[in-house]
């Protein structure tokens, strides 16, 4: 696009200069990438102290306001003060505060002691009150976040307008990154960190401090599983949990917890998954009731009150509450998953880490904080010792010190004269000169000097700790033990091993009864109850159509349909409605949503997919193949399998063989030639799309016309072949008539 540069005064023409071209790669590098890094580093991803910048700025502001020990103040006051560090707007700051409060119930250990309405984590409709109505202060638990912050434990940087300093990190005395749940969406990455129990995290961290090479299994035995603020029941799969502990990626399944009130015949749901809310659950239950899929429930309502969360379901008489809950777990967010993605900023670089690796990084961070705290204390004590040693020198002659000060004519000469009179340095002399006259007595000076021995012992102890990392780790361990003792809580989330979990089955809801199934050559399917067949068993078919399959089974059976388009469809008998013998039945291509021109050529009641059973495919080109049934077994409940067999030649017939009981099939070509072979002669191929081998040799242009296992008596001799490939035997006219009669009446 051209750029306007000037306007001519004579003819008022606008003069344009060509715009400067810029490569898209340069635009991304100069404009987009700084934005990306800003969002990742300074906004969305938590750091090793377990906090995002918005949390840290808010908590530090409250700390500087004296709200760790003082009375509560209006939230609006805190929001206003926080804007000195966080310029993103008052509502953004207040919403950050809301999540950290005790009233919102988002955290296992809330950072903000609150008064007023702050909404609830488990409800999207329960909104928080305006900041002018609510009051807050820091919870006593926050003392562990700020311990050592005034002792140079962490770095400070200028705020956005360079008017004050703020900490880069908070020197947390426990792995807050694993205790406080955190979620953030950056550009190109996200972070989802679930919470763990504080006591378990402290014990796990102590185990890593004692043995940095501790195994993941050992940590999993200590830190058993996540612990969510809303409770719930964790469906524990050790291998899935191991993946989370080792890689920081995976998901945790959580079920709601409930009580059954027999007197009122209702279910009270008292805990729900942390990843959902009551509105989502109510909406889904409402939809199921409207669709007629939840006839067991008469009424449902939100009964949240001051005592806590409660969702009540009134049941119909005779309903089994445990079976109903299994159904609701399957069909509603009463069972949900928390997707873990432990992305953490380490030295401003995002890293996805497992639990053990996060603990090790926190230990490294905490050791740095502790060394800085100890160095700060060491310097303070050494400075104090230095002053007291100077004070000790005037003990021998207090009168001399007074005389020097009194006889010095100029104020600026007092310090040099004291230095010369007692052989002390300027700092010591300054300290002595500032002592009040009333304290220039022997008792005061002796009392102060007696502190020297204690200071020297403390200095030696600190220097000893600073010189030995094992002692530093022991000090961190003792702090963690004290934190566990002071703030530890029992687990809120129950752990249920996956082997003990009962899974809902739709078959439990389907009425079971005996039926007879029919399928025709054109793809019509009938399900008829045996009771209905007693009155009339004469079947009605479309003109030219004939029966190809019939079997007795029950309403819970599974069906398999093989089609002429190399596809297999799965269905349940219960998916079809019962009909009468006089009805046409369901048209399978429409019922199963088959492709255009697709029709079923084979149907079977399939209970399992063993290796020693086979689908036998016979193709028009005279070839055949056996494919093990196990090749069609899938983990999921897939309704359609593509590429079920070879597409090299049109399918002529499909059979099903049990290896220990092979049977004979008759192959007939359009040249009126035939052979009879056992299915055991056909080779087995584990590749589903294998074209097979030639069974019957034919002249060019000929093809197989029939393949059947319903063999007329005339074909039991003379046509049998013991090896393949085999040449066809010419069929006499009388045998051909018998065959056609057999084909169209089977």
Distance CA 558, CA 570 (A): 7
Q: First CA to last CA across the chain, in angstroms? A: 78
Pick from 94, 92, 89: nearest CA to 77: 94
Identify whether the C-beta of residue 567 lies closer than 8 Å to the C-beta of residue 602. Answer: no
Residues whose CB falls within 8 Å of the CB of residue 582, separated by 6 or more in sequence, listed in order:
536, 538, 540
Pick from 323, 703, 715, 243: nearest CA to 509: 323
Taking each helix axis as running N to C, give the angle between helix 442-449 and helix 451-466, from 0 to 180 degrees, rounded to the nearest 10.
Answer: 20
User: Is 507 in a helix, a strand, or coil?
Assistant: helix
Q: Which two tokens stand for residue 544?
A: 């030219």
Q: Which two tokens stand for residue 445?
A: 């000076």
Buried b (16+ CB within 10 A) or exposed e, 405-443: beeeeeeeebbebbbebbebeeebbbbbeeeeeeebeee
Phi, psi of 117 (to 5 degrees): -90, 120
Distance CA 728, CA 715 (A): 12
Pick from 366, 347, 348: nearest CA to 147: 366
Options 35, 133, 663, 744, the catalytic residue = 133
Q: Which two tokens stand for residue 688?
A: 């589903």
DSSP-assigned beta bridge partners for residue 561: 569, 603
* Rg for the chain, CA atoms, rounded: 41
690: region left, alpha or beta (phi > 0 left; psi from -120 to 50 alpha) = beta
93: region left, alpha or beta (phi > 0 left; psi from -120 to 50 alpha) = alpha
Asked if 663 is an active-site residue, the reply is no
Distance CA 335, CA 503 (A): 11
Q: Which two tokens stand for residue 143?
A: 């003392």
User: Is 253 in a helix, a strand, or coil?
Assistant: strand
Distance CA 543, CA 454 (A): 111
DSSP-assigned beta bridge partners for residue 7: 14
User: Is 539 in a helix, a strand, or coil?
Assistant: coil
For 256, other C-beta atoms within 10 Å of its C-beta total 26
Catalytic residue annotation: 133
């Amino acid at each position: 696009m051209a750029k306007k540069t000037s306007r001519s005064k004579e003819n008022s023409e606008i003069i344009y200069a060509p715009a400067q071209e810029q490569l898209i790669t340069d635009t991304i590098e100069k404009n987009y990438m700084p934005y990306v890094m800003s969002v990742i580093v300074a906004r969305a991803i938590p750091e090793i102290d377990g906090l995002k910048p918005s949390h840290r700025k808010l908590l530090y502001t409250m700390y500087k306001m004296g709200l760790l020990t003082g009375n509560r103040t209006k939230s609006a006051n805190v929001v206003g003060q926080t804007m000195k560090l966080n310029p993103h707007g008052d509502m953004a700051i207040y919403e950050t505060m809301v999540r950290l409060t005790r009233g919102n119930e988002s955290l296992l250990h809330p950072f903000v002691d609150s008064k007023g309405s702050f909404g609830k984590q488990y409800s999207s409709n329960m909104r928080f009150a305006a900041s002018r109505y609510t009051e807050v202060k820091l919870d006593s638990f926050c003392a562990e976040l700020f311990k050592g912050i005034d002792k140079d434990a962490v770095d400070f940087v200028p705020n956005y307008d360079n008017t004050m300093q703020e900490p880069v990190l908070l020197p947390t005395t426990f792995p807050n990154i694993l205790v406080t749940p955190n979620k953030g969406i950056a550009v190109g990455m996200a972070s989802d960190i679930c919470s763990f129990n504080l006591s378990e995290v402290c014990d796990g961290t102590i185990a890593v401090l004692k043995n940095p090479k501790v195994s993941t299994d050992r940590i999993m035995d200590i830190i058993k599983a996540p612990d969510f603020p809303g409770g719930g029941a964790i469906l524990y799969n050790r291998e899935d949990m191991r993946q989370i502990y080792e890689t920081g990626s995976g998901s945790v399944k959580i079920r709601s917890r409930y009580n059954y009130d027999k007197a009122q015949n209702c279910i009270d749901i008292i805990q729900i998954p942390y990843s959902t809310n009551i509105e989502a659950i109510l909406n889904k239950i409402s939809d199921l009731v409207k669709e007629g899929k939840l006839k067991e429930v008469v009424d449902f309502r939100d009964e949240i009150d001051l005592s806590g969360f409660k969702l009540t379901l009134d049941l119909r008489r005779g309903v089994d509450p445990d079976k109903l809950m299994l159904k609701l777990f399957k069909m509603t967010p009463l069972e949900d998953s928390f997707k873990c993605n432990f992305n953490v900023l380490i030295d401003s670089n995002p890293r996805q880490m497992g639990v053990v690796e996060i603990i090790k990084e926190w230990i490294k961070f905490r050791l740095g904080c502790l060394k800085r705290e100890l160095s700060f204390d060491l310097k303070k004590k050494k400075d104090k010792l230095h002053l007291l040693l100077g004070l000790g020198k005037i003990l021998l002659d207090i009168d001399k010190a007074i005389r020097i000060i009194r006889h010095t004519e100029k104020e600026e000469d007092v310090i040099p004269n004291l230095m010369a009179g007692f052989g002390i340095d300027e700092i010591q002399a300054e300290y002595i000169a500032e002592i009040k006259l009333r304290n220039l007595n022997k008792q005061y000076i002796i009392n102060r000097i007696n502190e020297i021995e204690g200071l020297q012992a403390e200095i030696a102890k600190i220097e000893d700790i600073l010189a030995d990392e094992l002692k530093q780790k022991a000090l961190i361990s003792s702090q963690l033990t004290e934190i566990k003792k002071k703030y530890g809580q029992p687990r809120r989330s129950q752990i249920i091993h996956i082997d003990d979990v009962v899974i809902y089955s739709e078959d439990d809801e389907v009425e079971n009864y005996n039926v007879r199934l029919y399928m025709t050559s054109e793809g019509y399917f009938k399900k008829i109850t045996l009771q209905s067949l007693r009155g009339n068993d004469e079947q009605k078919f479309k003109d030219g159509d004939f029966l190809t399959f019939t079997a007795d089974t029950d309403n819970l059976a599974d069906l398999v349909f093989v089609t002429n388009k190399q596809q297999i469809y799965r269905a349940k008998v219960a998916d079809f409605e019962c009909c009468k013998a006089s009805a046409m039945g369901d048209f399978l291509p429409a019922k199963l949503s088959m492709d255009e021109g697709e029709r079923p050529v084979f149907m079977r009641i399939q209970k399992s997919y063993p290796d020693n059973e086979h689908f036998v495919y016979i193709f028009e080109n005279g070839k055949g193949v056996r494919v093990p049934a196990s090749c069609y077994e899938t983990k999921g409940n897939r309704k359609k399998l593509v590429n079920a067999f070879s597409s090299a030649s049109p399918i002529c017939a499909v059979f099903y063989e049990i290896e220990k009981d092979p049977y004979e099939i008759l192959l007939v070509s359009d040249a009126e030639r035939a052979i009879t072979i056992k299915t055991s002669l056909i080779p087995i191929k584990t590749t589903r799309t294998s074209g097979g081998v030639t069974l019957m040799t034919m002249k060019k242009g000929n093809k197989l016309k029939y393949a059947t296992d319903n063999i007329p008596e005339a074909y039991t001799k003379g046509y049998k072949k013991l090896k393949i490939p085999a040449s066809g035997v010419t069929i006499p006219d009388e045998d051909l008539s018998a065959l056609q009669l057999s084909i169209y009446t089977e």
